[in-house]
Amino acid sequence: MRKYILLLSIFSILKTSAQSNPENEFGAWYMYNGTHQISNKFGIKTMAHFRFFEIGDDMQQFISRLGVNYKINKNINVTLGHSYLNTDTSFDLKGGDFNEHRVYEDFNLKHAIVKINLAHRFRAEQRFFNATTGHFIRYQIAFSYPLTQKWSAYLYDEIFFDFDAEAFNQNWLGAGFRYKISNALKIQVGYMKIINDINQGFDRLQLGIILNTDHRKKS
């Protein structure tokens, strides 16, 4: 009987430990990203992400973005915007929420090598949370390759630098597929690996919709 009690105790401890460790969970991001052209030069960027520690359970973060985009030429554009984040810092528990506001500035450059489309994004973020101001610099490189008229594959990597702590903050590496429903609407499915500055690794399923609309007056 004592052996059974000991085994049950060990199993319970191991199970509790696994449940309290978000690295052991396969999480999910449910994403909306939109671009809405309002003139030849100006557009509106919109975004809403619902990010979960586990697939469909224990939401880690909600983030929304709204920005104004200016097109310098066909390959270069810039964005100025605002982000709102609500984050639960505690896994499998409630009450760890905090709110954050960010101002961000993007410099976007795109070009192509044969059929491979490349996009570079340089982002500066000013973070405001808990009476604290922080600063991120982020760089993302993304590759996209058309497989058919409807399907394309993508790969990206983004690195974060934190000016207020250790230089390296985190890295996002992702890949997946996009399907074109219409000229305005695409859906995507992919996988992302997150590595942070304390060597934690997180695996995320990404499911998203991409909406691109054109509100320019037709001549």
What's the pLDDT tens digit per position in 120-138?
999 999 999 887 889 999 9
Instruction: For residue range 24-39, list pLDDT tens digits in order.
Output: 788 999 999 999 999 9
Domains delineated in the chain: 27-214 (2.40.160.40)
Q: Dig out the tokens for 148 from the structure.
A: 């058919």
pLDDT per residue as tens digits for the range 180-190: 999 999 999 99
For 116, list phi and psi in degrees, rounded to 5. -90, 120
Q: How much is the pLDDT for 17?
A: 40
The letter for the amino acid at 45 is K
11: confidence class by pLDDT, cuts 50, 70, 90 = very low
Distance, in Å, from the CA atom of 25 to the CA atom of 48, rounded to the nearest integer, reads: 23
- At 2, the pLDDT band (50, 70, 90 cuts) reads low
Burial class of residue 81 (count of CB atoms within 10 Å of its CB; 0-12, 13-18, 19+): buried
* DSSP label at residue 114: T
Q: What is the pLDDT of residue 12?
A: 45
- pLDDT average, residue stretch 104-117: 97
79: left (phi over 0), alpha (psi -120 to 50) or beta: beta
